[in-house]
Structure 1
Amino acid sequence: MSSIRKTTVLITGCTPGGIGHSLATEFHRRGCHVIATARNPEILKELETQGFSIAQLDVTDQASVDACKMDTERLTGGKLDILVNNAGRPHVIPILDGDMDDIQKTYDVNVFGPMRTVKAFIPLLIKARGLIVNISSTSSQVPYLFGGIYSSTKGAIDTWSRALRLELEPFNVRVMVAMTGTVKSNFASGPHRPLPKDSLYMPVKDKFEWRLTFSQKHGTFATDQYAKAFVDNALKGEGWFGGLIAGSPFWFWCGGLTTKVWLLTLLPRVVMERIFSVYWGMGEMKRRIEEAARKRVD
């Protein structure tokens, strides 16, 4: 029998049809021991028949996170090489129309969820000199029309990851942030939040409805193509000179529109915001909203 230990990978949010499921499949194809998780593990039974380990994990529930950590410790002998914080919640709605309870639920999944998993799994990651991969979005870098709530959760992940990377240096645990562009998945498939009847944006409701599925219709990457590039980079290892050479990158940019967004980040923010104002058609939106307001007065 071979005594070589397989690279162990735990991925949150592996629902079929999503990025997490594709990542799990690709890591498994590379010979890793993959622990695929979901709030309802029954939907992962097909993966289990293929040799995956599956586990229940709700990143918003501390008891669930703790139980998953104990299961993982048993399955891996106490070491976890890679933790992928993929579980996420979409949120497309004008900022002014956001419901605070709904917003808090999105932050609980997208921000506090990764914080919970990292805190719980860090002993296993330290033993393995492991890697944490936080799934972010290129939308965290640009003004994303009607996506400010979601984008702000990913902006929080970006900033948290930078500090986390520094604080984990003494323990030889690395942090990679996946700046994800448009990728084919079921993430934007709904159900969608409807525009409230009293919304200030009702005169441009068609623009809002167009935005709901933007990520699936603009430069969208194939999910398996994204997964292959992601896994290539995650498995590079520690590299040399603190990971600056040949190791897993601190920032991994991949997906539709990522090159364009990266180039825009090199511009002064005021210039970038003007460019996006034109891109989103804010001039036309302003005209239509003002016309609707005049008609109500008349």
Structure 2
Amino acid sequence: MTGRPDDRLQDHAVIVTGAGSGIGRAAALAFARAGARVLGVGRRVDALRRTAAGHPAITVLAADITAEGAPQTVIDTAVGLWGRLDVLVNNAGATAAMPLADADAGRIGRLLALNVTAPSLLAHAALPHLRAAKGAIVNVSSTYGHRPLPGAAHYAASKAALEQLTRSWALELAADGVRVNALAPGPTESEALAAAGLPDAVVEQIKRDEAARIPLGRRGTPEEVAEWIVRLSAPAATWITGQVLTVDGGLELT
């Protein structure tokens, strides 16, 4: 994004989950610059307030979207604010290093609850409003939704599931005028690796290794990814549905 205001989504009502940091924060800001009214959702209220600071178009809601009833509360909050919902961005997710030898039911369940079940329940709760608005869903996947990831297979599988949900929902909802697409970012600067509990030295080594594999020679920025989330949501993309757009600096080619 250039940072200048525009009106691609003027007065549209948008929900962005995981809006307290990384791609989610960048997306909330990009939607606000595009003229939208944004409900930024996340677990950490302080982080959400940093996202919204100086941006009156962004309202924040602290919520654990995996909690019982939370998806409906999120949707009801947005509709209560603006009387409509045009775009749902399912960005919140967890990255978990989990070799098969260390896997257990609790860790697998928590990962799937955030990466697969919560987006599904949010989309379900949003559906009547998205049908009324002929709106859009954008799911944030990962290049590892269609690439193997040894040591984190369940994370990769959760993103593969999200991509298949995207394609299936796109067919299911096309007659209602609701578009469903996904974005698959490559390695992007964010807090995700640190949040996975990895030591700082390991995180830095992973970043160096990832950058070395990317043809463009660097990890992406949240802003570069957020631009495409907005584009997939905007009126100019009204004939695009069921697609998984990879934004990865050429990693897919290796």
TM-score (norm 2): 0.84
Task: Verify the 8 A CA contact 2:28 2:40 in the aligned structure 1.
Answer: yes
Identity %: 26
Match of 1:173 among 145, 170, 178: 178
Q: Is the 8 A contact 1:133 1:178 kept in 2?
A: yes
Offset of residue 234 of structure 1: 2.6
Residue type matched to 1:56 in 2? A
Alignment partner, residue 69 of structure 1: 75
More RCO (CA 8 Å, sep 6+): 2
1:139 aligns with 2:139: no
Residue 181 of structure 1: CA displacement?
0.9
Q: Counterpart in 2 of 1:229? A: 228
Residue in structure 2 matching 1:94, options 86, 90, 99: 99
* Letter matched to residue 255 of structure 1: D
- Alignment partner, residue 255 of structure 1: 248
Q: 2 CA distance for matches of 1:96 and 1:209? A: 24
- The one-character-per-residue Cα deviations of 1:77-118 (angstroms, maximum 9, x if unpaired) are 1x2111000000111121222122111100000010101100
C-alpha distance in structure 2 between counterparts of 1:32 and 1:252, whole Å:
22
- Where does residue 12 of structure 1 map in the other structure? 17
Taking the aligned partners of 1:84 and 1:236, their CA distance within structure 2 comes to 15
| Residue equivalent to 2:61 | 55
Letter in 1 for 2:38: V
How far residue 214 of structure 1 moved from its aligned partner, in angstroms, is 5.4
Structure 2, unaligned runs of 5 or more: 1-8
User: 5+ unaligned residues in a row in structure 1: which ranges?
Assistant: 195-205, 265-298
Residue 78 of structure 2 corresponds to residue 85 of structure 1: no
SS at match of 2:193: coil
Structure 1 residues 214 and 156, CA, compared in 2 at 3 Å: closer, same or farther?
farther
Q: CA RMSD in A?
A: 2.7
Amino acid at match of 1:61: A
CA distance in 1 between counterparts of 2:12 and 2:205 reads: 42
- In structure 1, what is the Cα distance between the partners aligned to 2:209 and 2:103? 19
Q: Which amino acid aligns with 1:59?
A: I
- Code of the residue aligned with 1:161 in structure 2: it is T
Q: Distance in 1 between matches of 2:126 and 2:64?
A: 14
Provide the C-alpha distance between the structure 2 equivalents of 1:124 and 1:41, rounded to a whole number of angstroms.
26
